[in-house]
């Protein structure tokens, strides 16, 4: 690893930040591509976040990733926010321009879509409806990404229906909300199903869903990646459906930031998966 006096520096900022895998991922790529740079975790509390972001250009940082709970609060510190970040209502990647301006974007939608395309090369999002389970921040980004892939209709089901309705109102377009108890009634008309909730995650309750109600050509994705093969994905495969695991979303969403800050578009390889899974 090279970190000279000319090193390019980027960071991930969260509160807390110790759970994040981003430093492991970015520093793997820095080493892989022999780049003079470093990527560091910074724990910044909510009362200091705006001031710290405004200070990034003065410190010479190239930019940063933003994680919970700051993805909305940082917007107040930025000079420009991309259209996709505005639609999602959250920023996860900040770039400092040569002129010292702060640009914010959100790469979660890109990461999600790239991960699906990577695992199911012939995916055709425009072929039919998508069912989205959950209505947190991840769901918001995924719905925006699905809209950009011309999904004809998105159906959101969430335990707290108002949160699904808030996404429907915010994003507009062809989005329908169906109650949690009726979630299985929408499966027979779905081309694509994604779990964006924490159900099925290690230590959390299971996602109870009868996958056999989906059409034979449906694709099933999970953004949960602990465990990598969730029960939902196992059920999908048992039913002969294509299944997309969640870790790749995390890896792909990191690509645009790395390219902005360090000047090389990094690859998401099998070796990277193995490296991250071993961490
Ligand atoms: P993120 O912003 O990372 O997507 P989040 O806002 O915590 O995370 O969202 C977690 C999702 O899991 C939400 O859709 C949540 O449903 P609520 O909006 O009703 O809270 C869903 N979730 C969590 N526990 C659940 C449970 N026991 N049953 C059903 N849904 C659950």
Give the residue whose CA is nearest to atom 12 of ligand 1: 197
- Ligand 1 neighbours by CB, cut-off 6 Å: 134-139, 158-160, 163, 196-199, 205
Distance between CA atoms of 143 and 148, rounded to whole angstroms?
9
Ligand 1 centre and the CA of 157: distance in Å? 11
Give the residue whose CA is nearest to atom 21 of ligand 1: 197
Residue 160 alpha carbon, nearest atom of ligand 1:
19
**Residue 172 CB partners (closer than 8 Å, separation 6+):** none
Token pair recorded at residue 43: 């724990």
Residue 205 alpha carbon, nearest atom of ligand 1:
27
pLDDT mean over 263-279: 96
Cis peptide upstream of residue 202 (ω within 30 degrees of 0): no
pLDDT mean over 252-275: 98
Catalytic residue among 6, 54, 58, 71: 71
In DSSP notation, 72-129 reads TGGGGG-SEE-HHHHHHT---EEEE-TTS-EEEE--HHHHHHHHHHHH-TT--GGGSE
Residue 163 alpha carbon, nearest atom of ligand 1:
18
Distance between CA atoms of 86 and 76, rounded to whole angstroms?
12
Ligand 1 centre and the CA of 179: distance in Å? 14
Q: pTM score, two decimals?
A: 0.96
- Judge whether 26 and 10 are in contact, CB under 8 Å: yes
Q: Closest by alpha carbon to 76, among 41, 97, 98, 48?
A: 48
Ligand 1 centre and the CA of 197: distance in Å? 5
Give the per-residue pLDDT at 188: 97
pLDDT tens for each residue of 214-260 = 999 999 999 999 999 999 999 999 999 999 999 999 999 999 999 99
Q: Is 250 exposed, middle or buried (0-12, 13-18, 19+ CB in 10 A)?
A: buried
Give the per-residue pLDDT at 65: 98
pLDDT of 1 > 90? The answer is no
pLDDT tens for each residue of 67-117 = 999 999 999 999 999 999 999 999 999 999 999 999 999 999 999 999 999
Q: Is 71 a catalytic residue?
A: yes
Ligand 1 centre and the CA of 60: distance in Å? 38
Distance between CA atoms of 60 and 74, rounded to whole angstroms?
18
pLDDT of 168 > 90? The answer is yes
pLDDT tens for each residue of 177-218 = 999 999 999 999 999 999 999 999 999 999 999 999 999 999
Residue of 159, 160, 180 to mutate, ligand 1, most atoms within 8 A of C-beta: 159
Give the residue whose CA is nearest to atom 7 of ligand 1: 136
Ligand 1 centre and the CA of 81: distance in Å? 27
Distance between CA atoms of 165 and 44, rounded to whole angstroms?
32
């Amino acid at each position: 690893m090279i970190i000279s006096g000319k090193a390019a520096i980027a960071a991930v900022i969260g509160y807390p930040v110790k759970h994040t895998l981003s430093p492991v991922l970015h520093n793997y790529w820095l080493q892989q591509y022999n780049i003079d740079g470093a990527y560091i975790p910074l724990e910044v509390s909510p009362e200091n976040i705006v001031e710290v972001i405004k200070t990034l250009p003065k410190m010479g940082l190239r930019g940063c990733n933003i994680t919970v709970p700051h993805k909305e609060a940082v917007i107040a510190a930025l000079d420009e926010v991309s259209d996709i970040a505005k639609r999602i209502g959250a920023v996860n990647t900040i770039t400092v321009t040569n002129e010292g301006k702060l640009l914010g974007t959100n790469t979660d939608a890109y990461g999600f879509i790239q991960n699906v395309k990577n695992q199911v090369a012939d995916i055709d999002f425009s072929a039919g409806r998508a069912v989205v389970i959950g209505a947190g921040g991840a769901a918001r980004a995924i719905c925006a990404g699905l809209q950009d892939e011309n999904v004809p209709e998105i159906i959101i089901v969430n335990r707290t229906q108002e949160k699904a309705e808030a996404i429907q109102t915010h994003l507009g377009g062809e989005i329908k909300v169906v109650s949690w108890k009726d979630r299985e009634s929408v499966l027979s008309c779905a081309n694509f199903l994604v779990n964006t909730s924490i159900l099925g995650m290690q230590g959390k309750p299971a996602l109870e869903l009868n996958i056999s109600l989906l059409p034979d050509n449906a694709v099933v994705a999970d953004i949960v990646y602990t465990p990598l093969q969730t029960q939902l994905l196992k059920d999908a495969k048992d039913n002969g459906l294509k299944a997309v695991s969640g870790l790749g979303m995390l890896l792909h969403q990191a690509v645009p930031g790395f390219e902005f800050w360090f000047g090389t578009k990094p690859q998401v390889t099998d070796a990277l998966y193995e490296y991250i899974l071993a961490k």
